[in-house]
Amino acid sequence: MGLTSRSLLFTVIFVAVVCVGLTLWLWPRLAGRGALPVLGRLGTILVTQLTIMAALALAVNSSFQFFGTWNQLLGKYDKSPVNVTQMGDGGAYAAVDAAKGGPVQPAGPQGLDKVGGIPRGPEEQTGKVESVRIIGRKSNAVNPAFVYLPPQYFQKQYERHRFPVMVVISGYPGGIMNLAQHLQVPQTAVRLLGENKMQPTVIVMVRPTIAPPRDTECVDVPGGPQAETFFTTDLPDALRSTYRVGHDASAWGAMGYSSGGSCALQLSMRRPDVYPNAAALSGDYKVGNDLTTGNLFGTGDEAKQREREHDLIWRLEHLPVPRINVLVTSSAKGEKQYGETRRFLGAVKEPMTAASIILPEGSHHFTTWRREIGPAMEWMSKQLIFPQDVQG
């Protein structure tokens, strides 16, 4: 039985219940003072506690997918390279130069000073990671961010050039530190640039929620947080007014892991005029209400329609297909969304194109996403158009 299978979970729960029952039945029979009764009582307590803890651990792991397979639980991680499969054509940290009151403002380190491998040498040789906060003029949101600027951004021959942009979104409830420390986005960018596998790109690392602790799922909530507006209007406007980045959408892409990957797909399919390229590492394909999101869609018939429109497979089957490029990842063993990933890929049709990374086994965890982030960033770089326009 698989580590995250329901059959294993229900079996262990059944064993735990049986052990509790046996303990109650045996306890009067183990009431003597001899060594054997004492050992018997200790044994029943130990076995019962172990089965209860095992059931709880399996339930938590099944819900959050910390480990997807037995091999991962035992520390046997596959570190071999992964490949992108292209579907058919159908199928100082506060050094940002921002005016006072501007949409991108300097921030403290926000933990960046604790991350290893961050570029810290001469800017024109190593690039730079800035710690900032982004002010949403229309959404009235403030979101922390890290901005990676490649070495070319500071080199004289590029001083008038605009650069392509990757917006990288963390999962929920994780924040931008996860992108820098655990997913190692800027470190991967430095490596790919050094290997000539990625073009010089400005990378913006943000979290998906604009109203923590609420999980806003990149949705414009009726009467509530306007997360989609932040990502599709405020964020691009702020970056274009502060950095030398492309003005045309062809230079822009969104990517993320877990709920951040879901956001990237949602943003691209709903607003292809802003993000015509998207990559989702272990993302989901629809948005629904739960305890962390609250009511995302309002009430009445309009709410039902809004929720349907955030189901990406439903969109592919019922709405005009956008001209976008997407990459999705999953694992045949260890990922709950593997079946939905296959359904999504099967629903893709022209003019949309899709690529995938499907691992034999993996988990909803950074050990898997770190294997995928390099190939995903390399794929994304190939989709982005280095802007021909220049500044000035």
The domain limits of the chain are 6-64, 73-383
Confidence class for position 89, pLDDT limits 50, 70, 90: very low
Angle, in degrees to the nearest 10, between helices 35-64 and 6-26: 160
Over 90: is that where the pLDDT of 85 sits? no
d(CA 242, CA 106): 12
For 93-131, how does the pLDDT look when each residue is reduced to its tens digit (9 = 90+)? 444 544 456 899 999 888 888 888 888 889 999 999 999
Of the listed ranges 64-78, 218-232, 300-314, 331-345, the one predicted with least confidence: 64-78
Q: Report yes or no: 52 and 15 within 8 Å, Cβ to Cβ.
A: no
Range of weakest confidence among 36-40, 77-81, 306-310? 77-81
How confident is the model at residue 84, as a pLDDT?
A: 63
User: What is the rounded average pLDDT of the residues 52-72?
Assistant: 68
The upper half-sphere exposure of residue 272, i.e. CA atoms within 13 Å in the direction of its Cβ, equals: 11
pLDDT band at 329 (very low <50, low <70, confident <90, very high): very high
Tokens found for residue 92 = 């100082």
Rounded CA gap, 53 and 50, in Å?
A: 5
Residue 10 has pLDDT above 70, yes or no: yes
pLDDT at res. 1? 66
pLDDT at position 142: 93
Q: For residue 74, what pLDDT is reported?
A: 62
Sign of the C-alpha dihedral computed for residues 341, 343, 345 and 350 taken in this order? negative
pLDDT at residue 67 greater than cutoff 60: no
Give the whole-number percent of the chain exceeding pLDDT 90.
Answer: 66
If one compares 2 and 307, the residue with the highest pLDDT of the two is: 307
Report percent pLDDT > 70 for the chain.
87
**Residue 79 binned pLDDT confidence (cut-offs 50, 70, 90):** low
pLDDT band, very low/low/confident/very high, at 27 (cuts 50, 70, 90) = confident
Per-residue burial over 131-146, b = 16 or more CB atoms within 10 Å of its CB, e = otherwise: bbbbbbeebebebbbb
**What is the pLDDT at residue 363?**
87
Confidence of residue 184 (pLDDT cuts 50, 70, 90): very high
What pLDDT does 217 receive? 92
Please name which of 231, 328, 316 lies closest in space to residue 278, comparing C-alpha atoms: 328
Confidence category of residue 37, pLDDT binned at 50, 70, 90: confident
For residue 364, is pLDDT > 60? yes
Going by pLDDT thresholds of 50, 70 and 90, the confidence category of residue 76 is low
Mean of all residue pLDDT scores within the chain? 88
Angle at 345 between CA 256 and CA 209, to 5 degrees: 25
Tokens representing 390 are 């220049």
Q: Which tokens hold the place of 362?
A: 């993996």
CATH class of 73-383: alpha beta
Residue 92, pLDDT above cutoff 60: no
Of 220 and 57, more confident: 220
Determine contact, residues 69/361, Cβ cutoff 8 Å: yes
